[in-house]
Amino acid sequence: MKTIKSFTRYSVLAMSLCMALGLQAQDVHLTTDAGAPVGDNQNSQTAGPGGPTLLQDSHLIEKLQRFDRERIPERVVHARGTGAAGVFQATADISDLSKAVVFKPGTTTPVFVRFSTVMGYRGSPEQARDPRGFATKFYTQQGNWDLVGINLPIFFIRDAIKFPDFVHANKPSAVTGVQDANLAFDFFAHTPEATSMLTRLYSDEGMPDSYRRMDGYGVHAFKMVNANGDVHYVKFHWKSEQGMHGIRPQDIAPSIGADWNHMTNDLYGAIKNGEDPKWDLYIQVLEPKDLAKFDYNALDDTKVWSGVPERKIGTMTLNRVPDNYFESTEQSAFAPSRMVPGIEASEDRMLQGRLFAYADTQMYRLGANYQSLPINRPLVQVSSEDQDGAMNSSGRKGEINFEPSTAREVSEDPNGRLVQTALSGTTQQQAIDKKRNFLQAGEYYRALSAQDKADLITALSADLNHVTNEGNKYTMLSYFYKADADYGTRLAKATHADVARVKSLADQLSDG
């Protein structure tokens, strides 16, 4: 009997059936997607020995058609990524803050994490001067909660309306298809609020040498709501138990040369060796009345909450490499809007935009029924009246596809009711107050070691040296000077700029 290796999921099913029937695995044969046996997978059907290939070779046609459709649109950002599964264990009682079951001490919740770079295409090198995505899906007993963060505690901009422009300027050029520092810094020269994030990004901390050895942050403030309806504002921080380690500027090119898929190989290698990476989840907590006590806007995602203590609430362990990259990692869909009772959105203007954008792009990228894919499906039963759409396999039965109905009573869960927030004022389009664009960049710079400062100057000046528009270059230098005079002076020298001119531009900036 001819032995044929199994390829499709159908043959896997057939294999189980064969095993159930006591047949040997060798009996499994190759089939079409409709399950019919394939007689020859090496030669197309032709009109005689020298003639053309026949349209009636439906196995060939199906094989090519399926191949032609293998790719789906890559993520508009964060296209290059790596996924791993594991568990989150809650360790601290924070029922005074949140009623979410995922935080109940002793609860173990399965998770799927996707790490990523931001601007590169799907096959781009993993070592890039780019924030790293750190997206976690918690499959909780109350539905899915996605914490879609990055490896740095803040972001470049503070209003969602600027996000498409920020991405256009930083993605490869619309003409050459190559990333261009000129375009990026043209945008940043008009975006002083990015000064703090750029400072972190160009430090060694901004260039982690491994996904295992970096922290993660939720960046925005979220609301936690307890069983009494009390609200607190929180920020989330994943602290790596492996420690943090960055790549120094002089080591970046050699590291890409050595292995440009190092981040995935490192993570998967460790998990396969039984060295499961762990992160502890910490929160910072503020009472609503305390939001106003800072001299910056505490709901501005370009700011860290200085001086607010952190407390540990659990630990995540990644212990499994998915065995199908496409079905797990590529089709995973994380959305900041996906929350569970006890966790709600804050009024942060970036988060508010994100609440819309992710589920929207996922319906385009993966289709309307993307939440029923195994990687995205909640562990709890889904019971909604949403229906149909392409590739639906919900198994819904009966004609009551609306609610309320006398024929079928479904109850609402008061636990899922959202908290009430008092509002005041008029609709408006105005920037936030207490911007403090430069304050925390200076604080961060001054806290760096001598070596870290030198590495920051080396890395940032290298990119600023590509900026040919002199006005943009001087504007950027003035921002860094405004953050800290030593920082700005050293950058000006490293970019052959006139320090006096940089200082005079910085003097005209306000940091209110």
The DSSP element (H or E) to which 502 belongs, if any, is helix 499-507
CA dihedral 76, 80, 82, 87 (to 10 degrees): -30
Is residue 150 at the binding interface for ligand HEM, with CB under 6 A as the rule?
Answer: yes
State the nearest-atom distance from the C-beta of 150 to ligand HEM, in Å.
Answer: 4
For residue 484, give the nearest of 456, 446, 436, 512 by alpha carbon.
Answer: 446
Is residue 236 at the binding interface for ligand HEM, with CB under 6 A as the rule?
Answer: no
Is residue 133 at the binding interface for ligand HEM, with CB under 6 A as the rule?
Answer: yes
CA dihedral 421, 219, 485, 503 (to 10 degrees): -70
Question: Candidates 55-63, 272-280, 287-295, 326-334 — which segment interacts with ligand HEM by CB under 6 A?
Answer: 326-334
As a whole number of angstroms, the distance between CA 95 and CA 224 comes to: 10
Interface pick for ligand HEM out of 129, 239, 354, 482 (rule CB under 6 A):
354
Closer to ligand HEM at the Cβ: 95 or 352? Answer: 352
For residue 118, give the nearest of 102, 104, 132 by alpha carbon.
Answer: 132
Closer to ligand HEM at the Cβ: 79 or 460? Answer: 79
State the nearest-atom distance from the C-beta of 154 to ligand HEM, in Å.
Answer: 9
State the nearest-atom distance from the C-beta of 443 to ligand HEM, in Å.
Answer: 21
Is residue 111 at the binding interface for ligand HEM, with CB under 6 A as the rule?
Answer: no
Closer to ligand HEM at the Cβ: 135 or 467? Answer: 135
For residue 478, give the nearest of 469, 465, 487 by alpha carbon.
Answer: 487
As a whole number of angstroms, the distance between CA 346 and CA 146 comes to: 15
Q: Residues 47 to 76: which contact ligand HEM by CB under 6 A?
A: 75-76
Is residue 350 at the binding interface for ligand HEM, with CB under 6 A as the rule?
Answer: yes
- Total residues at the site for ligand HEM (CB under 6 A)? 28
As a whole number of angstroms, the distance between CA 463 and CA 461 comes to: 5
For residue 187, give the nearest of 173, 201, 177, 205 by alpha carbon.
Answer: 173
Is residue 78 at the binding interface for ligand HEM, with CB under 6 A as the rule?
Answer: yes
106-136: string of b/e by CB count within 10 Å (b at 16+)? ebebebbbbbbbbbbeeebbbbbbbbbbbbb
Q: Residues 271 to 310: which contact ligand HEM by CB under 6 A?
A: 301
Cis ω for the linkage preceding 341 (within 30 of 0): no
Is residue 128 at the binding interface for ligand HEM, with CB under 6 A as the rule?
Answer: no
Is residue 373 at the binding interface for ligand HEM, with CB under 6 A as the rule?
Answer: no
Which residue of this chain has its Cβ atom nearest to ligand HEM in the complex?
A: 133
- The conformation of residue 31, written as its DSSP 8-state character, comes to B
Is residue 333 at the binding interface for ligand HEM, with CB under 6 A as the rule?
Answer: yes
Is residue 200 at the binding interface for ligand HEM, with CB under 6 A as the rule?
Answer: no
State the nearest-atom distance from the C-beta of 410 to ligand HEM, in Å.
Answer: 30
Interface pick for ligand HEM out of 98, 127, 147, 149 (rule CB under 6 A):
149
- For residue 72, give Cα distances in angstroms to 7, 162, 366: 21, 26, 7
Interacting residues of 78 by C-beta distance below 8 A, sequence separation 6+: 116, 117, 118, 133, 135
Is residue 197 at the binding interface for ligand HEM, with CB under 6 A as the rule?
Answer: no
Binding site for ligand HEM (CB under 6 A): 75-78, 81, 114, 116, 133, 135, 148-150, 155, 160, 163, 219, 301, 332-334, 350, 353-354, 357-358, 361-362, 365
